Structure 1
């Protein structure tokens, strides 16, 4: 006698769920998946969301993977060290548009992305914009410094967090899903856009979008 039909149909959602789960795990293995949490709203960051909406059409080509902010979010005041071991905080860059980037030498896409970040800093870095690239290698503190030196990447400031707490802090607000992670923030430390994975930051597409993100500050200065 064949089994009842309901017993057969109940297995279908389970199978579909397994496929979806396998896909999520696959993405995690490629980028080093973190966790998913809902970020709390910060009404003082509504201007950044409006800016994200305005420049959203520029997120194409080499920066098509950018996720534009739709919820007002102020980033945590990330804490890390500079090249001399001096404690620094992200809030020190208030007043500038900033591209925060988390990278590590064990992350192949991160290493490939670094020359583009160097070029972006060379082209736009100054009083209005800066790339803040934070290394999260947790073992050999000299390895990332040597990597930058050997690759002749001299325009990027060296920042590091050997405890990788900066990744956890961004993960806790749903903005670090893997490595590399980049977050474009406005002059008040509010999210404009986030990207999980690498991008060609020195491209015309990226330059145009970041220049557009800087316009409100220039207009008001």
Structure 2
């Protein structure tokens, strides 16, 4: 490879990286609606077995939400769409829907970054710290690419009703909540 062609190679690499990034972000993830077969521990059971610290470091057993509909939002402070949807998630949690639905944020970052973020923004729902293990947990719910934000709607029966990759469309979410 000659130095004369290097700028062309770099330009081609940047174009392909941009295309790959765009396709990765805009890839549709099919909703997961089937439950795990009897006797097989599914992702919801795995979630209920977790005890995660909140932004202040207080351990929060997720089993306490068993029997209640949940909206589990996997997010990170460095994820712009995650941060953009948080005010609407807070309003949802604080409103009438919040009486029937537990909204939970599972942060994929360091405890110090999530604590700093939580101090800066007023979030009305539990924000828990999973670190990088949160990515693996979201993958169990069907987030094969590990993209964020990733949100899972779980019925009070413990069944996954729908998953959402990318910034939530709250009109669609409210329609889905009406079916619970």
Residue pair 1:81, 1:160 contacting (<8 A) in 2 also? yes
Verify: 1:171 aligned to 2:139, yes or no. Answer: yes
Residue pair 1:105, 1:147 contacting (<8 A) in 2 also? yes
Residue pair 2:73, 2:150 contacting (<8 A) in 1 also? yes
SS of alignment partner, residue 125 of structure 1: helix
SS of alignment partner, residue 106 of structure 1: coil
Residue pair 1:120, 1:207 contacting (<8 A) in 2 also? no
- How many angstroms apart in 1 are the aligned matches of 2:122 and 2:80? 17
| Structure 1: gaps (5+ residues) | 1-21, 34-64, 214-221
Query: Over alpha carbons, which structure has the higher Rg?
Result: 1
**1:25-71 Cα distance to aligned partner (Å, 9 max, x none):** 5433x48x9xxxxxxxxxxxxxxxxxxxxxxxxxxxxxxx7844342
Verify: 1:72 aligned to 2:35, yes or no. Answer: yes
- How many angstroms apart in 1 are the aligned matches of 2:128 and 2:55? 6
Distance 1:24 1:118, change over 3 A: same
Please report how far the alpha carbon of residue 156 of structure 1 lies from its aligned counterpart in structure 2 after TM superposition.
1.6
Aligned residue in 1 for 2:178: 211
Residue pair 1:186, 1:192 contacting (<8 A) in 2 also? yes
Aligned residue in 2 for 1:27: 23
Alignment RMSD (CA, Å): 2.9
Aligned residue in 1 for 2:117: 147
Distance 1:187 1:137, change over 3 A: same
Aligned residue in 2 for 1:97: 69
Please report how far the alpha carbon of residue 179 of structure 1 lies from its aligned counterpart in structure 2 after TM superposition.
0.5
Q: TM-score, normalised by structure 1?
A: 0.58
Q: TM-score, normalised by structure 2?
A: 0.70
| Structure 2: gaps (5+ residues) | 1-17, 37-41
Verify: 1:180 aligned to 2:138, yes or no. Answer: no
